[in-house]
């Protein structure tokens, strides 16, 4: 079963959701802005993606620029920022039990669910 971390206001996220819908595969939607992720959940996602916390940060978001840009941050600091400001999390992210992918572009999701 797949899970998509989805923001319905994001065109890229909607494109990846359509890929999942059209695939006929079983998936669930997690609207992470309405149902925020815990630090533990974010760590699990990072492990599946095989990336560091900074790799899933939307560094062009105003919250990042205002509160964090240019500061020396540990991975724990970044995780705390992602928990406090879920809008900073890259979207969409599609995961299964073992791995995952950031769905930018949607073709990465297509390849992932094959």
Structural domains in the chain, CATH included, are 2-112 (3.40.30.10)
DSSP letter string, the chain: -EEEE--TT-HHHHHHHHHHHHHT--EEEE-TTTSPPPHHHHHHHHHHHT--GGGGB-TTSHHHHHHTTTS---HHHHHHHHHH-GGGB-S-EEE-SS-EEE-SSHHHHHHHT-
Q: Look at residue 11 in the predicted model and tell me its pLDDT.
A: 95
Determine which one of 3, 10, 15, 33 is catalytic. Answer: 10
Q: Look at residue 78 in the predicted model and tell me its pLDDT.
A: 98
pLDDT in tens, the chain (114 residues): 999 999 999 999 999 999 999 999 999 999 999 999 999 999 999 999 999 999 999 999 999 999 999 999 999 999 999 999 999 999 999 999 999 999 999 999 999 999
Is 5 assigned a catalytic role? no
For the entire predicted model, the pTM comes to 0.94
């Amino acid at each position: 079963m797949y899970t998509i971390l989805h923001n319905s206001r994001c065109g890229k996220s909607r494109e990846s959701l359509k890929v999942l819908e059209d695939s006929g595969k079983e998936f669930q939607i997690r609207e992470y802005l309405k149902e925020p992720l815990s630090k533990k959940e974010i760590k699990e996602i990072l492990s599946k993606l095989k990336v560091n916390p900074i790799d899933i940060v939307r560094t062009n978001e105003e919250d990042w620029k205002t509160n964090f840009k240019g500061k020396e941050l540990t991975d724990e600091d970044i995780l705390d920022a992602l928990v406090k400001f879920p809008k900073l999390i890259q979207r969409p992210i599609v995961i299964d039990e073992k791995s995952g992918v950031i769905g930018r572009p949607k073709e990465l999701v297509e390849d992932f669910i094959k």
